[in-house]
Chain A
Amino acid sequence: MSRKLIGVKTAGADDASSKTEAITTIGSAGIINAVGINNTADAHIATAKKLTRIFVRSGFRRRLLLGLFTVLIIIGFITSLMFGHTFYSIDEIIRVIMGEKVPGASFTVGTLRLPRAVLAVIAGFCFGLSGAAFQTMLRNPLASPDIIGISAGASAAAVFAIVVFSLSSAAVSLFAVVSGLAVAMIVYLLSYRRGVEGSRLILIGIGVAAMLDSVTTYLMSQAAQWDLQEAMRWLTGSLNGTTWNQVVPVLIALVVCGTVLLSQAKNLSLSQLGDDAATALGVRVNRTRLLVILSAVGLISFATAAAGPVAFVAFLSGPIALRIFKSDGSNLIPAAMVGALLMLVADFLGQYAFGIRYPVGVLTGVLGAPYLIYLIVRTNRGKGGA
């Protein structure tokens, strides 16, 4: 009885979640030990809690945080335009953006830093959206597209295009996008057996990724020295030498695929409750899943084609956003913002913080390791759902 009361309270007051949640867990654990049944009641409470989170967007906190992140991204953006080997003041930068000719700054800021920073933000959005979409859909914080083979497909194709055909960067992008989509389709079809089950999709994705990685390795071992440099740079994920030609396709992809994905945001959140519950609530599960996969794969393929498979941005953005925003409403936009911020900061640090210039992918990849350790530590303290 007491447990039920606490449960209802939690469902109502979403803001005080963490404390009450702890009480609920302790309380229910005790009762379950004592009685041994009541599992179904527990499940109902969990469902009710999730539903409240989806429907009752506690607006103020969320809007505040979104505003804060927007400000942070703008600060990061301007910082990466201002600082570097030469410093340019803010009004010089504004004049460059307005299209005036400023000696020195026009080249350094307008041609070198601006496309780079813009790509960092846009690609970050793409990675974040796509990662969060996959993680939400597959209900697993580790199941992001860079883990389950889609980035691996794009990478193998790009390296093939560079090493075997010595293609230009536009053609390489096209190659990467097409094969990213193809790999996603192959994984989807291979995991189809009376419907697609999330866990099977993940595992088959990992298998396909392993195979594609070995193809990449083989191609690299055959590469000539000059191609090798190019391929290595691309593979680690780097924003060096970004031009506007690379930025435009990603921007278009972000607008098109991003819109489709966000239109499915509520259905996606509901499908987290499980296929049966979602269907009961009026979600066409298979249609939602297909739309989400297509748009998420489109996003990550275009971003990967331009910036390379920047390790872990798609993987980390979702869980970080979830921690900060406490899952009020859909996690897609928060994850996109976290992704953009991650890209900006990692790229800036990679360029100037160390003696040597590291590509952005090395930094983000290294950031992933403490996150994994954090997962262990957090769960050992209390049994949070990982």
Chain B
Amino acid sequence: MAEIAANTSTTSDTAKLWYPKRYKTLALILLAIVLLALLVASIKIGSREVSWEEVLAAFSGNVDDIGTGSVAKRIPRTMLAVLAGAALAVSGAVMQGVTRNPLADPGILGINMGATLAVVIGIAFFGLSAAISYIWVAIIGAAITAVMVYAIASLGHGGATPIKLALAGTATSVALVSFITAVTLPRNDIAENVRSWQIGGVGGATMDGIIAVVPFLLAGFLICLICASKLNMLALGDELAAGLGERVAIARGVSALGAVLLCGAATAITGPIGFVGLIVPHACRLLTGADHRWLIPFSAVSGAIHLVAADVLGRIIARPAELDVAIITALIGAPFFIYIVRKQKVRSL
């Protein structure tokens, strides 16, 4: 039953599977140019106005007044927005492929919350303080939550339908938030620390944190890219994929591992950011069709664009204060989510 639903939802995409290659390449290059422009904007725009000279001076390592100082603070922040945006978007694209479910997203599935709880427990009970140690803990938390949510959603008739997956994710999130409160409530010393991290933003980025997380992200991206053609097979349905010689369980497990690596590592540094993994892959499918070999690179670039733009927007709207990116992505993403739900004929219960 679930397969039929998934297949009907992808048939319209399959028709568009063969866009000419050069259009796709051109579109990718255009997106890269947009990203570059946004990077410049992200470094130039902020609560303090800086001149172009100060930007250049900061890049040549000359940090001695407030102007160049604030530029120097914006550089790691921009880098983190690029990395986290790309990671979350690719993670969402792969999760949608693995679960063959249009609503899969690390935020909606509660996987971000799992990573958060793991980090909070790490801070409270094991005295973690370095970004590098957050990462391992967050990835383990994300993996456990992913398995658990998927298991809950697969219960009953029809397997993991979109609606069951979304409900299981939300319910799990509520439970996890209670645990987070239970851990932080008696500990005033860490409560503030946890709360600011829990909102999810890129404002507190440091070079050390970024360097620590890059290997994990690279590994995740590589796994996802290698699995791209396997995900195309899975989209045909389990029986057909197996008939074509694909080892379905292994393909699914390895791809899921890549997705969990990406979102766990990104969450460790930024805190939970939702909806990037939902809306970016959907928007990209309009350009690429259902072919994951194109969808994944497109999602990476567009995810970076989305998060950098959201970060810049957050600095402009609330000037001189800032809005954290997670708030902006939710405010943009939730209406989009509702739009997808309305447009799609979601399978009834």
The listed residue (A198, A214, A364, A368) touching B348 by CB distance below 8 A is: A198
Select A204's contact among B151, B185, B330, B342, beta carbons within 8 Å: B342
Contact with B along A186-226 (1 / 0, CB 8 A): 00001101000111101110111111011101100100000
List the B side residues contacting A356 at CB < 8 Å. Answer: 185-186
Residues of chain A lying within 8 A (CB to CB) of residue B341: 191, 200, 203-204, 207
With A199-B349, A203-B103, A210-B107: A142-B167 Cβ-Cβ less than 8 Å: yes
Inter-chain contacts of B151 with A (CB < 8 A): 376
| A-contacting residues, B127-167, CB 8 Å | 148, 151-152, 155-157, 162-164, 166-167
**Does B47 interact with chain A (Cβ within 8 Å)?**
no
Q: Which residue of A lies closest to B172 (CB)?
A: A372
Contact string, A348-368, partner B, CB cutoff 8 A, digits 1/0?
Answer: 000000011010011011101
Contact A190 B331 (CB under 8 A): no
- Chain B residues whose CB sits within 8 angstroms of the CB of A217 once the complex forms: 199, 326-327
Q: Is there a chain A Cβ closer than 8 Å to B62's Cβ?
A: no
Question: Given the complex of chains A and B, what is the CA–CA distance between A15 and B167 in angstroms?
Answer: 32
**With A200-B341, A365-B177 as given contacts, are A211 and B335 in contact (CB-CB < 8 Å)?**
yes
B164: chain A residues within 8 A (beta carbon): 140, 142
On chain A, the residues within 8 Å of B335 by CB distance are 207, 211
CB-based contact B174/A146 at 8 Å: yes
**A160 within 8 Å of B by Cβ?**
no
Q: Mark A128-148, 1 if CB is under 8 A from B, else 0.
A: 000000000011101100110
Residue among B103, B163, B181, B199 making CB contact with A362, cutoff 8 Å: B181
- Smallest beta-carbon distance A239→chain B, Å: 16
Q: Could you mark each residue 317-329 of chain A with 1 if its beta carbon is under 8 Å from any beta carbon of chain B, else 0?
A: 0000000000000
* Set of chain A residues within 8 Å of B23, measured between Cβ atoms: none
CB pair B166–A203 under 8 Å, yes or no, is yes
Question: Which residues of chain A are within 8 angstroms of B175 by Cβ–Cβ distance?
Answer: 311-312, 365-366, 368-369, 372
Find chain B residues with CB under 8 A from A37 CB: none
Is A386 an interface residue when CB atoms closer than 8 A count as contact? yes
Query: A202 touching B163 by the CB < 8 A rule?
Result: yes
* Of listed B172, B177, B347, residue having the most chain A CB within 10 A: B177
Measured in the bound complex, the distance between the Cα atoms of B331 and A121 in whole Å is: 37
Give A142 to B172 CA distance when docked, in angstroms: 10
Tell which of B107, B172, B175, B177 has the most Cβ of chain A within 10 Å: B175
Any chain A CB within 8 A of the CB of B119? Answer: no
Q: What chain A residues lie within 8 Å of B342 (beta carbons)?
A: 190-191, 193, 200, 204
Min CB distance A302 to B, Å, is: 21
Query: Nearest chain-B residue to A377 (Cβ)?
Result: B151
Contact, CB under 8 Å: A202 / B167 = yes
Determine the distance from Cα of A311 to Cα of B338 in the docked complex, in whole angstroms.
24
Count chain A CB atoms within 10 A of each CB in B107, B156, B182 and give the residue with the most.
Answer: B182
From A198, A210, A376, contact of B108 by CB (8 A) = A210
Give A147 to B275 CA distance when docked, in angstroms: 17
Q: Let me know if B179 and A214 touch, CB within 8 A.
A: no
> Closest A-chain residue to B329, C-beta based?
A214
- Say yes or no: is B95 at the interface (Cβ < 8 Å to chain A): no
User: Smallest CB-CB separation from A146: which chain B residue?
Assistant: B174
CB distance from B118 to the nearest CB of A (A): 14
Q: Which residues of B contact A379 (CB under 8 A)?
A: 155-156
**In the complex, which of the residues B108, B152, B163 has the most CB atoms of chain A within 10 Å of its own CB atom?**
B163
B211 sits at the interface (CB 8 A): no
Q: Which residues of A contact B334 (CB under 8 A)?
A: 207-208, 210-211, 214
Q: How far is the CB of B231 from chain A (nearest CB, A)?
A: 24
Min Cβ gap B199→A in Å is: 6
CA distance A193 to B333 in the complex (A): 22
Residue from A203, A215, A386 whose CB has the most chain B CB atoms within 10 Å: A203
Q: Given A199-B346, A207-B338, do A214 and B170 touch, yes or no (CB 8 Å)?
A: no
Whether A68 is near chain B, meaning CB under 8 Å from some CB there, is no
B103 to chain A, nearest CB (A): 7
Interface residue? A59 (CB, 8 A): no
Residues of A with C-beta under 8 A to B12: none
Task: List B contacts of A369 (CB < 8 A).
Answer: 175-176, 178-179
The reply to whether the CB of B242 lies closer than 8 angstroms to some CB of chain A is: no
> Taking the complex as formed, is B171 at the interface, i.e. its CB lies under 8 A from any CB of chain A?
yes
B residues within 8 A CB of A143? 167
Known: A147-B174, A210-B333, A369-B175. 16 other contacts (CB 8 A): A190-B338, A191-B342, A198-B349, A199-B346, A199-B347, A200-B342, A202-B166, A214-B326, A215-B327, A217-B327, A218-B323, A311-B177, A356-B185, A362-B182, A372-B148, A372-B172
8 closest Cβ contacts across the A-B interface?
Answer: A365-B178, A214-B330, A211-B334, A386-B155, A386-B156, A142-B167, A207-B337, A369-B175
* 18 A-B contacts (beta carbon < 8 Å): A199-B349, A204-B341, A210-B334, A211-B331, A214-B326, A214-B331, A215-B331, A217-B326, A221-B324, A315-B174, A358-B185, A361-B181, A362-B185, A365-B174, A366-B179, A368-B171, A372-B152, A372-B171
